[in-house]
Amino acid sequence: MNFSFHGLRYLILLFWAALLLLQCKPGGLQFSQDNGGLFLPDGFEALVVVDSLDGKARHLTVRDNGDIYVKLRHPDSVGGNVALRDTDGDGKADIIKKFDDYQDRSSYGTEMKIYDGYLYFSSVTRIFRQKLTDDLVPDTPLELMMRDTQPPRQHDTKPIAFDNEGNMYTVFGAPSDACQVDDRAPMSPGMDPCPILETRASLWRFDADKPNQFQWDGVQIATGLRSVVGLDWNHQNDQLFAVLHGRDYLHTTWPQHFTVWEGSVLPSEVFIALDSGANAGWPYHYYDHLQEKYFLSPEYGGDGALQGDVSHLTEPTVGFPGHFAPNDIKFYTGDQFPERYRNGAFIAFHGSTSSAPYPQRGYIIGFVPMENGVPTGEWEVFADGFAGVDPIANTSDAHFRPMGLAVGPDGSLYVSDSRKGKIWRIVYTGKREDFGEENLESMARRKLEASNIKTPTEGKDILVSEERVPEGELSEGAKVYNTFCAICHQRDGKGNDRFPPLNESEWVTGDKETLINVVLNGLEGEIMVKGKSYNNVMPRLSNLSDQQIADVLTYIRTHFENEASEISAEEVAELRADQVE
């Protein structure tokens, strides 16, 4: 009995010692048994630096001593940034300090980068910098480096990149989806020429060391850029690259030319080199990654088949699937990962909001193997599992959304999440020389099979609505809703990070006239819904008949947990007539 007892105790001790060895790998890092929920190529492991940040997260950067600086998504009065430090070497943040209270703090402020001893970061209309010190939180003066001349609007982000000659680059986004006369309104034509291109939808170069610059102090470098959140300089071939968000609503705004499936998978999100004079096509053209060609936008006479003159357009480096939402790019220059990753590009795909009724897609870290700025193979899935659900019916269902990327001094890859402010550190723990194609097999299968990554099969991968009603048996109001409204507010009416919910919304169940006017006239600017701020565009749908508007508004007022009265076609007609007078 005594021998058995001691033998059992010995086995237990061996078990815990083995478990500790598995978890405490290079440098005593405390790895998560499930990689923090992530799926990675064989040989890679992940640990969670911090489970959540108060204020959530956008982009991040890592200093050469391992300190992490994060741009907060929802800063409060304490500060718009946060600094993290690991004091005991286990990889987890022990010290977390907010800092910097600055003007124009916004949920869509973007960047956080270190350049020439300074910490650079941005809000949607301003770029700041602060000299780093020996302390975790710098106490040096905050410098305003560049300011926009317009108030925040859609697609206003300020990603930053630096070249080798002391220049800073940033983007001025297009305050429109496709430069329509009525933004996002069905069948509204495009303005020709598009006046937005005079100052927006473009990349500009500034002096990285000169404070108080305005847009006119810079030089326009490239155009045709609707929305850019990720920029990075490839030092191997001395070239700037960006990842672009393609336009929305091909089916919703032009249902006569594009099917529901085409609206879900197109147009492409492109990875592109932005040399001087580059043109990515917006708003006149969009890129189709399935056919690997530019096509004329429907606002300018396109029908999905016409190309028009594309001779002046810059060919993308890679065309990614539509609506994946690439929000950061990072060229890998570290030595920790296997050699095939060196000089390649990691891309954080924030995930789609407008792929319904097919599954929402993206929510991954992709990788493009490259040499001298040219891909050496097909793009790959490097990390998946952020969403935590399969399939993703609504963006709000996703547990996490990958946002920012950074490479640490030891070559680890850091990933931030915009939903809760979670941060992962991905480390290669195998033998670099043993890494081969077999290590990539599991991720290659995910690219082909996972519902959030693969191209959905037209007509077969449609998610069943919450009501379980076949499409052919839907009410007239539900049909109008699915065609014109569900792409933003989602088929379950719960909205997402960009567009407000309709369930139990005061805007839906409240005053009838207010709701009717929103549909007739559209709505732009910041509004509060259920205590949360939203700042986007609701297109006017005045092209719908009085009966269609009555049907769809009655539908949303009597569904999605709402119990409000119906709206009649006569009530719509009366308000429409009053506005004409």
Both 364 and 328 in one domain: the answer is yes
Q: What's the mean pLDDT in 558-567?
A: 91
Is there a single domain that holds both residue 371 and residue 308? yes
Q: Confidence class of residue 21 from pLDDT cuts 50, 70 and 90?
A: very low
Same domain, 539 and 407: no
User: Which DSSP category does 190 fall into?
Assistant: B
Residue-wise pLDDT for 175-187, tens only, equals: 999 999 999 988 9
Contact call for residues 381 and 362 (beta carbons, < 8 A): no
In this structure, what DSSP letter does residue 180 have?
B
Q: Is residue 213 part of a domain?
A: yes
Provide the percentage of residues in the chain whose pLDDT is more than 70.
91
DSSP-derived secondary structure for 442-501: HHHHHHHH-TTTSPPPTTTSPPPPTT---GGG--HHHHHHHHHTHHHH-TTS---SSS--
CATH of the domain at 62: 2.120.10.30
Is 51 within a domain?
Answer: yes
Same-domain check for residues 424 and 524? no
Residue 166 pLDDT more than 90? yes
- Looking from the CA of 153 toward its CB, the CA atoms found within 13 Å total 19
3-state secondary structure of 552: helix
Structural domain total, the chain: 2
pLDDT at 17: 42
pLDDT, average across residues 414-442: 96
Residue 454 lies inside a defined structural domain of this protein? no
- High-pLDDT (> 90) share of the chain, %: 70
Residues 138-165: pLDDT tens digits?
Answer: 999 999 999 998 888 888 899 999 999 9
pLDDT digits (tens, 9 = 90+) for 227-241: 999 999 999 999 999
pLDDT at 574 over 70: yes
Closest CA to 186 of 277, 256, 264, 289: 256
Mark whether 496 and 435 lie in a shared domain. Answer: no
Candidate from 19-33, 193-207, 429-443, 479-493 with smallest mean pLDDT: 19-33
Which residues make Cβ contacts (< 8 Å) with residue 561, sequence separation at least 6?
A: 503, 504
Q: Which residues pair with 456 in a beta bridge?
A: none
Residue 323's closest CA among 248, 227, 225? 248
Pair 519, 540: CB distance under 8 Å: yes
419 and 479 within one domain: no
DSSP-derived secondary structure for 205-216: EEETT-SSEEGG
Q: Which amino acid is at 158?
A: K
Average pLDDT (384-394) is 95
The count of residues in the chain is 581
Q: Within a domain: residue 10? A: no
Answer whether residue 531 is part of any domain.
yes
Q: What is the mean pLDDT of the chain?
A: 90
> Is 502 found in the same domain as 422?
no
Q: Are residues 443 and 485 located together in one domain of the fold?
A: no
Element (H, E) at 4: helix 2-23
Q: Which of 414, 449, 484 is the last residue of a domain?
A: 449
Q: Are residues 163 and 277 in the same domain?
A: yes
pLDDT at 78 over 70: no
- Per-residue pLDDT at 108 exceeds 90: no
**Do 55 and 138 belong together in one domain?**
yes
Q: How far apart are CA 265 and CA 354, in angstroms?
A: 10
Quote the pLDDT of residue 573: 87
The reply to whether 149 and 293 lie within a common domain is: yes
Q: Are residues 485 and 397 in the same domain?
A: no
Mean of pLDDT values over 319-338:
98
Residue 2 or 204, more confident: 204
Q: Identify the domain containing residue 493 by its residue range.
A: 475-580
Model pLDDT for residues 234-260, shown as the tens digit of each residue = 999 999 999 999 999 899 899 999 999
Residues 59-69: tens digit of each pLDDT: 999 999 999 99
